[in-house]
Structures are given as structure tokens and as C-alpha cells.
Structure 1
Amino acid sequence: MRRIIISGGPGGGKSSLLEALREAGFPCIQEVSRELIRGQVAANSQCVPWKNLACFAKSCLDKMIADYHVASDRSLTFFDRGIPDIIAYLRFGGISVDDDFMVMAKKYRYDSNVVIAPPWADIYVNDSERWQTFSEAQALYSEIKNVYDELGYQMIELPLAPVEQRVAFTLTKLERIEYK
């Protein structure tokens, strides 16, 4: 089983790619943070990233570990972000990363190849769960790449192209990479 992370800064087209992969029949695990934000906002909780990033990160970690275990037995399962993304968000937010996050990032290893969506100004939009400016999204993208690199992952950068081309690019690249 290969657990493939699709990562990148906010607004790079990850969710569109995941949706297209899902429509093509691949099992996909949705982004944890959007689901958690909606629930926390509805509950009028303080455990949202713009009020208490540490609390929010812990909630994300717990959910990502649970999602890791429900990955399909099929050959590929795609994840909209992985545990290393939490570490990048914490660092970007200036919050020290508890050892627990690094331990879990090393324990719950995904496929060694991470598909990463670069910042793309033409498609970037703010919404109720994406509050960062485009320049913040670019800086966060850099931090995400740094964390994945630090943890020994190889990045496959997506082209700035329509989603259909991104799907073909992703599947072609993954077919050519020997399973590790």
C-alpha cells in the first residue's frame, strides 16, 4: 500500500487535484484542517488556528493518525496533507514543536514521494478557512518543503496546469518511481 501525500501552501490546487483523483476512482483522504475548522467554528471554540494554533495542531495530529490507519488496501491512497504539514504550520506560526509531533511524523511514514503544489497566484482565493495572504501562502509553502526535506521525503512538484494535466502528471510520475 502506498500512502501518497499531496501537499503545498494554501490555495495551490491540492483539493481540486484530490477531487479529480477521487472521481478517477482512487481512495482519497480529505484535508483534516478544513473539517476541523468548520466544526470548531460551529461550536464557537477557541481551538482554531488563528486563536490557538497549538490546540488546533494537536486536534489535526489526532485526526491524521486516525486517517493514516483507514487508508485503503488498494495500491494508492492519496492524502490531502500529512503529519509533516502540521510541523510546518507550527514553525510558520512561531510555535515550538513538541517532540510528540516529530515522533509521530517519523512513526507514521507515508510514501517517500510527496506531490507538492507550488503557490499559484492565478487560482489563489481566500475563503472562510483560508485567511492567509498569497505572500504568506508562499512562505508557508517554503516551510512545508523544508519540513518534508528534513524528514527525508522526495518532492514531486506539480506543474501550474489544469487539473486534468496535474492528474496525468501525478500518476505518470508515481508509476515511474519504484515503490520503496
Structure 2
Amino acid sequence: MHAHPTTHNRLIILTGGPGSGKTTLIDALERSGLSRTEEAGRAVIREQLAIGGTALPWADQEAFATLMLERELRSYREGRAAPGDGPVLCDRGLPDLVGYLRLEGLPLPEPVHTAARELRYHPDVFIAPPWPEIYGRDTERKQSYEEAVRTYEVMAEVYPEYGYELVPLPLGTVDERVGFVRARLRERSGVSRP
């Protein structure tokens, strides 16, 4: 796939199924000095729970998807506007919304497809594989481990369809994963600062 005019190579996506250590890794990379965005789905769930809303993945999936699109677009803009010129880690990206809709058997609205196709991130996308030893549920993560595996499988389908190369994260300690991501950024992107 050719680069689009809106490609923003400093936006680095980390995706995968829930409970695979993705956010823990992003938190550690942020502590090491990298910028980051927040995961849209978790933010929407927190907000909806706080206000007693129903735009939740277990209540109103279409409303949830609409709010996720708004949040992902905001995260994309904020990531592009982040200070400095180093990488910005994105806890998921717009193609994740395509994956969510596919996973739930919901139609793909044209604006979601267009956003995922046209608003580009760095071509390498880190993907966290399922990891049963660390998987756990919480108030925002209600999926079973089997659903988490299926989410990973769908993301592994969707991202290449939008022209991204998947970079599987190793199953290792947080420090090992931090080292892996930083080395890959230095090797492939030229955006290894700070």
C-alpha cells in the first residue's frame, strides 16, 4: 500500500487482544520518556460507567462503537499534536474499531472504513499475542479468555488489510518488551527519541 498524504510515522500502534500486557507495556514506555495516547475503548467504558450510560460493549454495541470512533479520532489528533518529534505510542488505533465491528458482527460504516484507510500511522504495528498466564478480567474488561484470543485473531486480520506490518511482541518481562519495542523503533523508524 502506498503512503497517504496523512501518514504520520511518529504514531506507533500497540494492539492485540485484551489482557495481553499491552497497556502495561505502554505505561512502562511512557515512564521511560515516550509520549502516549489512551485506549479509546477503556476511556469510553469508564465514562459510561461513571454517568450510568448505556454505550457499553455489553449493552449497546453500536453506540459504543460511535463513541469509540470519536475518541480514536481525538487520540489521533492529540498524538499528531504531541510536543516534540519523537514517537507517540497509541494504545490501539482506528483499525481496531474495524476489528471490533467485525468481531461483533456489526456493519462497517463508511466513515469508519475511510478513517482507518486514510488516517495513517507508522507502518509497523506492534501486536501483543494472547497470554493466558497474565490474562484477567476487571470492571472494564469482561471478555472471556476465548474472546480475547478471537479479538487478537481479528486484529491480526484487519491491520494487514489496511496495509500495516504486524510486529509480534515477545512473551517476556515488561523490561524485555520495552527493550524490544525501543530496539525496533531505532531499527525501523528513525523515531527512537527520547
Give the TM-score band, short-chain normalised: over 0.9
| Cα deviation 1:15-51 (Å, max 9, x = unaligned) | 1001001100100111111111011012111111111
Identity of aligned residues (%): 36
Give the number of aligned pairs. Answer: 180
Q: Does 1:65 align with 2:76?
A: no
Aligned to 2:140: 129
Name the CA distance, whole Å, in 1 between partners of 2:158 and 2:66.
Answer: 17
Note the C-alpha offset of 1:178.
4.3
Residue 70 of structure 1 aligns to a residue in which SS?
Answer: helix
- Normalised by the length of structure 1, the TM-score is 0.96
- Aligned partner of 2:73: which letter? I
Aligned to 2:18: 10
- Aligned partner of 1:21: which letter? L
Name the CA distance, whole Å, in 2 between partners of 1:62 and 1:117.
Answer: 24
Alignment of 1:28-39 (within 5 A): 28-39=36-47
Note the C-alpha offset of 1:65.
0.9
Q: Does 1:144 align with 2:149?
A: no
Aligned to 1:112: 123
Residue 11 of structure 2 aligns to a residue in which SS?
Answer: strand
Alpha carbon RMSD of aligned pairs, Å?
1.3
Note the C-alpha offset of 1:165.
0.3
Aligned to 1:88: 99
Structure 2: tracts of 5 or more residues without a match: 1-8
Structure 1: tracts of 5 or more residues without a match: none
Name the CA distance, whole Å, in 2 between partners of 1:178 and 1:169.
Answer: 14
Cα gap change, 1:134/1:100 in structure 2, threshold over 3 Å: closer, same or farther? same
- Normalised by the length of structure 2, the TM-score is 0.89
Name the CA distance, whole Å, in 2 between partners of 1:162 and 1:74.
Answer: 28
Note the C-alpha offset of 1:74.
2.1
Residue 4 of structure 1 aligns to a residue in which SS?
Answer: strand
Q: Does 1:100 align with 2:111?
A: yes
Q: Does 1:27 align with 2:35?
A: yes
- Aligned partner of 1:177: which letter? R
Note the C-alpha offset of 1:101.
0.6
Name the CA distance, whole Å, in 2 between partners of 1:86 and 1:178.
Answer: 25
Q: Does 1:43 align with 2:54?
A: no
- Aligned partner of 2:124: which letter? N
User: Where has structure 1 moved over 6 Å in runs of 4 or more?
Assistant: none
Name the CA distance, whole Å, in 2 between partners of 1:83 and 1:54.
Answer: 16
Note the C-alpha offset of 1:67.
1.4
